């Protein structure tokens, strides 16, 4: 859906989803898009702020007074876009098409908000003197956002495509998982991070050429990103190397669990973690897709489970078999 969006516009939608989850909203509304837009557009932030005021605090106070703040929702939940927001995104696409712009940028998203005059975001903008025709006129005189088939931030290597984007609130860091397609296999997967206030990314760790860092997860309260590590040979055969944790403040890398330290609740030939799914808020439990290989007459058979990994005990609790699909 967002293939024709600029990098800034995609980040706006990402932050809108994050803001909706923090307010406990069951869907992404116009006010969440506005908060995401203000994160990415310094020019707009200056327009809606008054001297001595922080734009984030200002708009957030108005939204809190306007809505019922519920318990936050996990960022792992893919929140739907409200009907009102779907119209806003359609208007943004129309504005880009009207100007023969091939990509939808933050300026088009702003116009989309203003074209839905009854939405709460438009009311906030109107109160601050941001009007549709004025915004259209200003857009013509302003330089367009950098666009292209693959917009790229400083620090990200060429030849990679973004597979997953995370946000760690405790450190205000963005984490991206990048994958490179080499032949029939995806090798190697790399992780990069940057502070929300900067543009350049830095690589997480220094993995060797045959090691992939993949399926990252993070939590609300701890400045960490936890991820799976796999080793690959020249034939494209992989093996599990362990679960690692990277401290986004100190930049220290630690092995939390490996094949030799993982404790499973039953006797088996081999056990491994295929994928990390989510991390508890306190960083003590990881929900994973785990593989267990058992002996059967004439050989061995692998079974997959939704499981909970206790980090301190390094023990795996099998919660539910994944019989139908190898996710």
pTM, two decimals, is: 0.57
Tell me what the mean pLDDT of segment 265-274 comes to: 89
Tell me what the mean pLDDT of segment 199-223 comes to: 92
Separation CA 179–CA 152 (nearest Å): 14
Tell me what the mean pLDDT of segment 316-323 comes to: 90
User: What local confidence, expressed as pLDDT, does residue 186 receive?
Assistant: 47
Helix, coil or strand: residue 212: strand
CA distances from 156 to 10, 180, 204, 229, 318 (A): 17, 12, 12, 20, 37
Separation CA 200–CA 156 (nearest Å): 8
User: What local confidence, expressed as pLDDT, does residue 195 receive?
Assistant: 95
Helix, coil or strand: residue 291: strand
Residue 311: strand pairing partners: none
Domains and CATH numbers, the chain: 7-141 (1.10.1780.10), 163-321 (2.120.10.30)
Q: Which residue has the tokens 């696409």?
A: 93
Q: Give 169-195 pLDDT, tens digit per residue.
A: 999 999 999 876 544 344 588 999 999
One DSSP character per residue, 7-59 reads: HHHHHHHHHHHHHHHHTT-SSB-HHHHHHHHHHH-HHHHHHHPPTT--HHHHH
One DSSP character per residue, 226-268 reads: EEEEEEE-TTS-EEEEEEEEEETTT--EEEEE-TTT-B-SS--
Locate 258 and state its tokens: 């490996």
User: What local confidence, expressed as pLDDT, does residue 149 receive?
Assistant: 43
User: What local confidence, expressed as pLDDT, does residue 226 receive?
Assistant: 97
Locate 194 and state its tokens: 């940057």
User: What local confidence, expressed as pLDDT, does residue 1 receive?
Assistant: 61
Q: Give 54-78 pLDDT, tens digit per residue.
A: 666 777 788 888 877 788 887 667 7
Locate 73 and state its tokens: 């929702």
Which has the closest alpha carbon to 233: 270, 187, 273? 187
Separation CA 214–CA 201 (nearest Å): 17
Residue 46 has pLDDT above 70, yes or no: no
User: What local confidence, expressed as pLDDT, does residue 180 receive?
Assistant: 66
Q: Give 100-134 pLDDT, tens digit per residue.
A: 788 899 999 999 999 999 999 999 888 888 888 88
Separation CA 258–CA 261 (nearest Å): 5
Q: Give 129-145 pLDDT, tens digit per residue.
A: 888 888 888 776 666 65
Q: What is the mean pLDDT of the chain?
A: 84
> Per-residue confidence at 150, pLDDT binned at 50, 70, 90?
very low
> Per-residue confidence at 53, pLDDT binned at 50, 70, 90?
low
Instruction: Tell me if 102 sits within 8 A of 147, measured CB to CB.
Output: yes
Residue 148 has pLDDT above 50, yes or no: no
Q: Give 12-33 pLDDT, tens digit per residue.
A: 999 999 889 888 899 999 999 9
Q: Is the dihedral of CA 115, 118, 121, 127 positive or negative?
A: positive
User: What local confidence, expressed as pLDDT, does residue 327 receive?
Assistant: 41
Helix, coil or strand: residue 308: strand
Locate 118 and state its tokens: 């009854």
Instruction: Tell me if 254 sits within 8 A of 244, measured CB to CB.
Output: yes
Separation CA 164–CA 176 (nearest Å): 6
User: What local confidence, expressed as pLDDT, does residue 50 receive?
Assistant: 54
């Amino acid at each position: 859906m967002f293939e024709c969006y600029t990098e800034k516009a995609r980040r706006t939608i990402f932050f809108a989803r994050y803001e909706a989850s923090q307010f406990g909203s069951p869907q992404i509304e116009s006010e969440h898009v506005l908060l995401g837009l203000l994160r990415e557009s310094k020019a707009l932030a200056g327009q809606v702020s008054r001297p001595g005021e922080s734009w984030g605090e200002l708009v957030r106070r108005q939204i809190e007074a306007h809505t019922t703040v519920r318990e936050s929702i996990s960022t792992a939940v893919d929140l739907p876009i409200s009907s009102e927001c779907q119209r806003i995104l359609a208007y943004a696409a129309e504005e880009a098409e009207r100007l023969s712009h091939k990509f939808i940028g933050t300026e088009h998203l702003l116009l989309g908000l203003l074209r839905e005059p009854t939405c709460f975001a438009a009311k906030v903008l109107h109160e601050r003197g941001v009007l549709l025709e004025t915004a259209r006129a200003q857009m013509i005189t302003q330089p367009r956002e950098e666009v292209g088939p693959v917009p790229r931030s400083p620090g990200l290597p060429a030849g990679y495509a973004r597979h997953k984007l995370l946000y760690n609130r405790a450190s205000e860091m963005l984490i991206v998982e990048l994958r490179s397609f080499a032949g029939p296999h995806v090798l190697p997967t790399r992780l990069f991070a940057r502070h929300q206030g900067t543009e350049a990314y830095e690589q997480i760790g220094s993995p060797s050429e045959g090691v992939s860092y993949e399926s990252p997860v993070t939590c609300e309260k701890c400045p960490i990103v936890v991820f799976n590590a796999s080793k690959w040979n020249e034939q494209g055969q992989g093996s599990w190397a362990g679960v690692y944790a990277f401290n986004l403040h100190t930049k220290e890398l630690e092995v939390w669990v490996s094949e030799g330290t993982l404790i499973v609740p039953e006797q088996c030939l081999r056990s491994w973690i295929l994928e990390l799914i989510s991390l508890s808020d306190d960083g003590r439990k990881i929900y994973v897709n785990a593989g267990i290989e058992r002996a059967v007459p004439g050989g061995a058979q692998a079974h997959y489970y939704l499981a909970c990994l206790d980090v301190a005990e390094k023990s795996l609790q099998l919660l539910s078999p994944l019989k139908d699909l190898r996710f």
